[in-house]
Amino acid sequence: MANKPRNKMSVSNRAKQFMPFSALSGFKEALEQVEIKKAREEKIELSQSQKERLNNIIKSLILNDEIKVEYYDGNKYQLITGAFKKIDEIYHNIYIGKEIISIELIKEIEVYY
């Protein structure tokens, strides 16, 4: 018996044979989520006296004061240093350089004189 001629495989079908294969679909994403949870810090709730102290510092700020702010970004605490620009009293935000930070997320403010 003679061999039957085979249909040629298209280029895209041949390429699919050599594409990477993930036996555990979704495993990589699940692993990334676990890593994010491990790296996540909990937000610290400030005492009333700490809030009052921060409020007094914020009230004393003058345009272009050089300040360092420690704030919670949703996963961990971040530090930012820059020139104080303004306070948005309606939305409770502080502007440092081009950054906007919610006052409720601030843990510490240091003013450089």
Model pTM? 0.65
> pLDDT tens for residues 83-106?
999 999 999 999 999 999 999 999
Share of the chain above pLDDT 90, in %: 58
7 CB-near residues (< 8 Å, 6+ apart): none
pLDDT value of residue 89: 93
For 20, half-sphere exposure in the C-beta direction (CA atoms, 13 angstrom radius) is 3
Give the DSSP letter of residue 93. Answer: E
pLDDT one-digit tens code per residue, 30-73: 888 877 777 778 899 999 999 999 999 999 999 999 999 999 99
